[in-house]
Amino acid sequence: MPIETVSPVLDGTPPRLRITGVECHVLLAPDYDASFTSSAQDSLVVVIHTDGGVSGVGECDANPWMAKACIEAPGTHTMGLSIRDMLIGSDPFEIGDLWRRMYLGTAMNGRRGMVIHAMSAVDMALWDLCGKAVGKPVHALLGGATRDRIVPYASLQPAGKSFEEYRDALCKSAEGALRLGFQAMKTEITMNGPYAHGGMRESYDRHTEVLAAVRKAVGPDVTLMVDVQYLWDDAETCLSVIGDWAEFNCYFLETPVWSDNERDMAKLAERAPMPIAFGEWLATRYEFESLMDVGKVQVAQPDVGRVGGIGEAKIVCDMAKARGRKIVPHCWKTGISISATAHLAFVTDHCAFIEYLPRELCHERLRRELAQEELVLASDGTIALPQKPGLGVEVDWDVVRRYTVG
């Protein structure tokens, strides 16, 4: 079976470049809190260099030490090759061919999970590099933007240890997002289950109370999504709670059951009073194929820094379109990943929103300090088409140096 991949769309012959170096920086915020469920406290930043002096930057959303090892480990046989060795000496414009070589060449080390997450950072850096080399934004290399505005949704942040503190922090964050001009926002409501905030163990009724409070805080016109982060064991328990949630007019319900539980996802997709969204952890088109065809979810949420990179995310978007599903990418990382996600959204009309961690509202200093992406929230809550070459990201290399731990 041939493996379809995505390569840059170029007019004319690109400059002749060879990859000369692959740098992996493990970053960790000095004030990170291991009890805080936020992967935006660390990052693997990958920088790919060429003999022409042009370089590109990417990151992935996975344990940065593991991802670095996946890229730097030496190979020992033909189905367990070194990602770094495959890259050195290659033409960076052959992104699709490189992706296929990395996927096949590391087959005995993964095909899913960490190896693919690590490849995502490499792929992102290659797209950035190619855009910079030809002076074009990544969306142009993906075939050209199909719209001039996209709509980000603000991910609201909880805080506190008690039910009241948790509820009030989300309402306060929602009010902050409203003031910034967001048209859409997502509240987590996770006071139980595997992701339980701060070890809380609250009843399901109290989850409903938080949702009611956040809806009241934002008013009836704002698009509101809910993420319960794998709260329920099965569809029946979930339905016994969310059956009453229709009145809150949720745009989607994210990850109500465990990520492997596609049978129950399908039951929820059929019977829940709102669309069901999944996909933040998935790697490759193959996992999304199962998510959509077995799990039947209405909203697919590829994370560019996990699914395999920009090209693999584009393939997932095309698969969703063919099935009449919406795309709302997951992104919980720095400006590098946010920018990569935005470029994808500008070539994806059925991408309804992108996830966006507002710098002004978030605790994570890597999000606030590492990179400035060329994305400005207009007063109408939209983001205009970026114009700078590549991802259009300005990385603060002093921050990289300061927070590098490996």
Residues at the contact surface with Mg ion, assessed by CB under 5 A: 227, 280
CA–CA separation, 61 vs 303, rounded Å? 8
Q: How far is the CB of 316 from Mg ion (least distance, A)?
A: 17
- Sequence-distant contacts of 384-389: CB under 8 A, at least 24 apart: 384/148, 384/149, 385/137, 385/139, 385/145, 385/147, 385/148, 385/149, 385/346, 386/137, 386/139, 386/339, 386/342, 386/343, 386/346, 387/137, 388/137, 389/131, 389/132, 389/134, 389/135, 389/136, 389/137
Smallest gap from residue 321 Cβ to Mg ion (A):
22
Residue number, 38 or 109, with CB nearest to Mg ion = 38
CB of 253 to Mg ion, least distance (A): 11
Nearer to Mg ion, 71 or 156 (CB): 156
Which CB atom, from 42 or from 227, has the smaller least distance to Mg ion? 227
Contact 362, 368 (CB under 8 A): yes
DSSP state of 349: T
Query: Residue 393: which of 88, 46, 116, 64 has the closest Cα?
Result: 46
Side chain identity, residue 151: V
**By C-beta, is 103 or 251 nearer to Mg ion?**
251
Q: In this complex, which beta carbon is closest to Mg ion, that of residue 59 or of residue 280?
A: 280
User: At closest approach, how far in Å is the CB of 136 from Mg ion?
Assistant: 32
The nearest distance, CB 301 to Mg ion, in angstroms, is 8
Query: What's the min distance (Å) between Cβ of 172 and Mg ion?
Result: 20
The CA distance from 346 to 353, in Å, is: 11
Question: Do residues 56 and 125 touch, judged by C-beta distance below 8 A?
Answer: yes
Distance, CA of 313 to CA of 318 (rounded, Å)? 9
If the CB atoms of residues 38 and 63 are measured against Mg ion, the closer one turns out to be: 38
Q: How far is the CB of 297 from Mg ion (least distance, A)?
A: 13
Nearer CB in complex with Mg ion: 190/339: 190
